[in-house]
Structure 1
Amino acid sequence: MSDEGQRSPLLILFLVVLIDMIGFTLVIPFLTYFVQDLAEADGFVDMASRDWWVGIVLASYTLGQFLFTPLLGALSDRVGRRPILMFGLVSNTIFLISFGLASALWMAIAVRFLAGAGNGNIAVTRAYIGDISTREQLPGRMGMIGASFGLGFMIGPFVGGVLTDPANAFGGPFDTEWWAAHPYFLPCLTAGLLSAISFLLAIQMLPESLPAEKRRVKSEEEKGLKAVLRNLVGVRDLSPNVRRLVLVNATFLLAFTMMHATFILFTGMPIEDGGLGYDERMNGYIFAYVGLMGVIVQGGLIRPLSKRFDVRQLMIVGIILTSIGLGWIPYLEPTPLAIGLLAMTFIAAGNGLFQPSQSTMITTEARAMGLDLGRV
């Protein structure tokens, strides 16, 4: 596929990852308050219990992705990337909107779990990039996808913070009992509609990247879901280098996800209790800043850096920077804000270096070993 022919699918892939990250990060500014409202309605009145449920709801999305992304990636090696990406966008649309209507804790947990389970788009997108890119093109294109990751991280929290509680924030047509009773529905509806638009664009403009003759062919006795699941137990058929990269990525993502869960609790906690005392809008601005830094690093810096330095070096530097930022968080004070933003800059820059570098390394290694890209 020529560069001109690849331009359209790359733009659609950029949009797919952007929507995916908007859907994941949209809930960050208001999740604490939403779940606390649901927990209180379900009888959990003390702060410790409500904060525990915040972690459960946030973890349910990650758990769904952890369990089902390998399956969706393996299926993309069999049926092609396009159908799995379409499925993820439809899933995104349905469950983003549904989350805003959740009226009980069990419903919020179930919806977020199903949203994660049905959406393996980031992993499949990376496999798509691997299908259509040369080794020289990989760092830049993974950086482009990483930039959409950062942009989604910027837009999602901003939308989630600004559009929360429209009955009080905007009034007018939103000044009704229904909107007052569903203060978190508007940001979820907005993200769901964006996902639907992305789906419609993908139908028209996203070709299949994995030709039929290159899709994984199994013998009759190995066909079926059971065989796919058996191979997914994770990593037994992967090379040692790929196994190590998968483990590094899983550990990094675990730390990043834990930061999401604890940071929103820390920022939302009253100052007198040791927190930062931020509201949902301030949380949105903080995470939007993180996303902006991610866009700068992954969209503008990763390509020239990858030409000057080895991607392994960039990945290691990314881990170190992220570790510094994460270790700094517990010592933050409400003021000055600039110190908090500096800590978040370390996290954003570290993640911006790590993600495209790790993706490039694992794709290159998997391709050299003749492995199916969807599996890794």
Structure 2
Amino acid sequence: MPFIMVTVLIDMISIGLIIPVLAPLVGTFTGSQADHAFWYGVVTFAFGVASFVASPILGGLSDQYGRRPVLLLGFSGLALSFFVTALASALWMLVVVRLFSGAMQANAAIANAYVADITPPEDRAKRFGMLGAMFGLGFVLGPVMGGLLGAIDLHLPFYVAGTLAIVNGVYGWRVLPESLPPERRKPMDWRRANPVSALRKLNALQGIGPLVAVVALTSLAQFILHTTWVLYTTFKFGWGPRENGWSLFAVGVMSVLVQGGLIRVALKRARPHRIALWGLVSSTLCYALWGAATEGWMMYVVIGLNVFGFMTAAVMQSIVSGAADPQSQGEVMGAVASLNSATQVFAPVLGSALLAVVSHLPQGDWRIGAPFFLCSLLQATALVLALRHFSRDASRRSSPTL
């Protein structure tokens, strides 16, 4: 577990470095806020499409050849994409390199499969929480470093991120052990190595099918948040890379505190299903509050309030992973990644379109929060679906077998 945690930490620092500066970099090629929102949506859409198609393929390859080589492939792709982005001189170059980066980057899915390989089902929620803490710690260090470096030069964070990706590749090659022994591997089934087949398999898991819609809705809301946060705070509060870096630093701190410690306390007191419901309630309220914020400091207050919201992803991962057999963890985690990538395709379309519509409004206008109000609606819908599913599941378990 320590090996994969270090790998994920370095990976997330490198990714976090570019978050505060990617949107401003796109803005250097545009002439208005509306065009800025549109082209940023195109760039993030390209990443989502490529990741949607490639995630089940990489997940299946990891079931056949092991997790380690696929992780190393992802690190190499990330390093190349960061350096090319830093050298981009036109918008089409940014779009092409994000397509390549999305196709190569399935590290999160493979890391989750790695943890599932080495962890008994009853401990997976806690272990996924530990992994989530590494994601959060990466977002503590990465965005604030990216914001500070971006204030010096918008291209500098991409060079640093590429260097870190190379460091991670060397670390993985020299130190990271393989988690999937040869006897538990299975051949790649290319007929199922596509997003549609992967999602069908996920839907067919015993007791999981109805939760696919919940995972999809919460993922869509999360990616709308990710793709619009920097532009939203820029349009509404006039924030730059430094301010956005510090706000994402706060998100990372909360993620580390919650997933690195508080989630274990919560799991001792409540079942994962109940924590997932609390998380959906928390997220529904907090998305609405982010959208309604009229001052920058309010964003930090809401980040601190969304404690259970930071637990939702880890407990949902454990529920899905627990329904899959040991030989299919890579395929199933790849399917989850493919589902997340599918929502990542639509998130920039919805979020950027809404921001483009309200981009003419003055700073501080509550209507600029339209993307976050949509996120709140998506989370509320997911909450209703989850309540219905868990209630039916509890009734079915309590009914006597005839």
Band of TM-score, shorter chain: 0.7 to 0.9
Letter in 2 for 1:228: A
Cα deviation code 1:264-316 (max 9, x no counterpart):
112112xxxxx111111001000110010000000011122212210111112
Instruction: From the superposition, tell whether residues 230 and 194 of structure 1 become closer, same or farther in structure 2 (CA, over 3 Å).
Output: closer
Change (3 A) 1:21 1:135: same
Contact in 1 for aligned 2:17/2:158 (Cα 8 Å):
yes
The residue correspondences of 1:328-347 to structure 2 (distance < 5 A) are 328-334=289-295, 337=297, 339-347=298-306
Q: How far is the alpha carbon of 1:26 from its aligned partner?
A: 2.5
Structure 1 residue matching 2:29: 3-state secondary structure: helix
| Distance in 2 separating the partners of 1:151 and 1:33 | 24
Contact 2:198–2:331 (8 Å) recurs in 1: no
Tell whether the 8 Å contact from 2:192 to 2:198 is kept in structure 1 after alignment: no
Aligned-pair distance for 1:230? Answer: 8.0
The Cα shift of 1:122 comes to 0.8
Change (3 A) 1:68 1:23: farther
1:312 to 257, 266, 273: 273
Q: Using CA pairs under 8 Å that are at least 6 residues apart, name the structure with larger relative contact order, 1 or 2.
A: 2
Structure 1 residues 23 and 70: alpha-carbon distance in aligned structure 2, compared to 1, 3 A threshold: farther
Question: One-letter code of the match for 1:89?
Answer: F
Q: CA deviation at 1:371?
A: 6.0
Q: How far does residue 139 in structure 1 lie from its aligned partner after superposition?
A: 2.1
Q: Within the alignment, does 1:90 sit opposite 2:76 as a pair?
A: yes
| CA 251–211 in structure 1, closer or farther in 2 if over 3 Å, else same | same
Give the Cα separation in 1 of the matches to 2:4 and 2:119.
Answer: 13
Q: For structure 2, which runs of at least 5 residues remain unmatched after alignment?
A: 333-402
1:302 aligns with 2:263: yes
Structure 1 residues 23, 232: closer, same or farther in 2, change over 3 A?
Answer: farther
The alpha carbon displacement at 1:165 in A equals 4.4
Gaps in structure 1 of 5+ consecutive residues:
1-9, 40-44, 167-182, 270-274
User: In the alignment, residue 69 of structure 1 is paired with which amino acid?
Assistant: S
Q: Output one character per residue of 1:209-238: Cα deviation in whole Å (capped at 9) or x when no partner.
A: 1111211147xxxx5x34533873522473
Cα distance change on mapping 1:83 and 1:243 into 2, 3 Å: farther
What is the RMSD of the two structures over their aligned residues, measured on CA atoms? 2.1
SS at match of 1:164: helix
Q: What is residue 213 of structure 2 aligned with on the other side? A: 247
Which amino acid is the alignment partner of residue 28 of structure 2? D
Structure 1, residues 294-342: CA drift from partner, whole Å, max 9, x if none?
000000111222122101111121122122111112211125x1x2212
Aligned partner letter, 2:106: G
Cα distance in 2, alignment partners of residues 12 and 59 from structure 1: 32
Q: Any conservation in 2 of the 1:32–1:268 contact (CA below 8 Å)? A: no
Please identify, of 111-120 and 12-21, the stretch whose mean Cα deviation from structure 2 is larger: 12-21
Q: Which residue of 2 aligns with 1:215?
A: 185
- Map of 1:326 onto structure 2: 287
CA 1:109–1:230: 2 relative to 1, 3 Å: closer
Change (3 A) 1:31 1:150: same
Aligned mate of 2:36, from 50, 64, 73: 50
Once residues 296 and 284 of structure 1 are traced to their aligned partners in structure 2, the CA distance between those partners, rounded to angstroms, is 18
In structure 1, the residue matched to 2:144 is: 158
Instruction: Report whether the alignment pairs 1:374 with 2:330.
Output: yes
